[in-house]
């Protein structure tokens, strides 16, 4: 199976899954005590569905042409802003305070933007998307801290892991062919993605608070999207597949928040 066929299959699954979530969410508006939170999440999923559909259509119609900054970029930014708004609506009184975790997140985003520009050469798209994605990550970091989702040791491990794979990717960014050493970077990055998924699944299975489930699920999505942006080839498909698994977790978490608010 070629990379293009695999990516198209994953894109189709993405569209079908998000369309299903959009349909299944409609009854939630009648039963929830958090209509604003549900509305933000609902439109985030609508934006994600349309973004994936646009990407799939472009891949099928013009498979040999790199997609320029277009509707899918705007759609992804809308998803990040709407999910941030959904979390802000759950914690309306929570104030932003700068922490070491936020400093690490900002450095991570700046380094990511630099790598994206080196790889694509698209300054405006990468900076605009990176700033919005960075805001999304900072919201996730704030709520992860407030809900106590990670211990101090886990935060340190996340920081070290991020620094490790970013250093490897930066070292090989300008090389025409990826050296075998880049595999170590992918292993570290995928280990972090799987760790976020593990924490989310564990939280859901233990039936912890709906707010904590929501924060972990959304943060897992942010982590996996970062992995998608950093990957290429079959690594990209693997990251996209892992990212798909966060969608039903987010749906479950927001449904629980809507029921128990």
Q: How confident is the model at residue 241 (pLDDT cuts 50, 70, 90)?
A: very high
For residues 214 and 7, the model is more confident at: 214
Q: How many domains are contained in the chain?
A: 1
What is the pTM assigned to this prediction? 0.92
User: What is the end-to-end Cα distance of the chain in Å, rounded?
Assistant: 46
Instruction: State the average pLDDT over residues 157-161.
Output: 96
pLDDT at 70: 63
Nearest to 214 by CA among 183, 255, 185, 184: 255
What would the two tokens of residue 260 be?
């128990």
What would the two tokens of residue 145 be?
């801290």
Rounded to the nearest integer, the mean pLDDT of the chain is: 89
Q: Is 189 exposed, middle or buried (0-12, 13-18, 19+ CB in 10 A)?
A: buried
pLDDT at 157: 96
pLDDT at 64: 64
What would the pLDDT profile of 35-61 be if each residue is shown by its tens digit? 888 899 999 999 999 988 888 887 777
Q: Rounded CA gap, 215 and 173, in Å? A: 32
Nearest to 214 by CA among 259, 260, 252: 252
pLDDT at 85: 95
Contact of 32 with 258, CB cutoff 8 Å:
yes
Burial 151-171 (b: 16+ CB within 10 A, else e): eeeebeebbeebebbbebbee
Residues contacting 163, CB < 8 A, separation 6+? none
Q: How confident is the model at residue 136 (pLDDT cuts 50, 70, 90)?
A: very high
Contact of 123 with 68, CB cutoff 8 Å:
no
Domain boundaries, position 105: 3-260
Instruction: State the average pLDDT over residues 216-238.
Output: 94
């Amino acid at each position: 199976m070629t990379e293009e066929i695999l990516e198209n299959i994953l894109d189709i699954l993405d569209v079908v899954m998000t369309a299903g979530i959009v349909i299944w969410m409609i009854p939630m508006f009648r039963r929830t005590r958090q209509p604003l939170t549900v509305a933000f999440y609902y439109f985030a999923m609508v934006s994600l569905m349309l973004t994936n559909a646009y990407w799939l259509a472009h891949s099928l119609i013009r498979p040999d042409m790199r997609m320029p900054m277009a509707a899918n970029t705007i759609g992804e930014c809308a998803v990040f802003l709407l999910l941030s708004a959904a979390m802000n609506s759950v914690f309306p009184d929570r104030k932003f305070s700068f922490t070491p975790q936020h400093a690490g997140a900002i450095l991570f985003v700046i380094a990511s933007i630099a790598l994206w520009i080196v790889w694509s050469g698209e300054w405006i798209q990468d900076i605009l998307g990176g700033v919005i994605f960075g805001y999304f990550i900072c919201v996730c970091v704030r709520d992860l801290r407030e809900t106590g989702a990670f211990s101090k040791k886990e935060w340190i491990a996340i920081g070290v892991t991020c620094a490790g794979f970013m250093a490897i990717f930066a070292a090989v960014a300008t090389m025409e062919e990826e050296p075998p050493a880049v595999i170590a970077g992918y292993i570290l990055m995928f280990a972090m993605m799987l760790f976020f998924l593990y924490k989310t699944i564990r939280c859901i299975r233990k039936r912890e608070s709906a707010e904590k489930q929501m924060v972990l699920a959304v943060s897992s999505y942010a982590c996996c999207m970062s992995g998608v942006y950093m990957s290429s080839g079959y690594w990209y498909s693997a990251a996209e597949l892992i990212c798909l698994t966060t969608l039903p977790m987010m749906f479950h978490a927001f449904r629980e928040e809507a029921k128990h608010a």
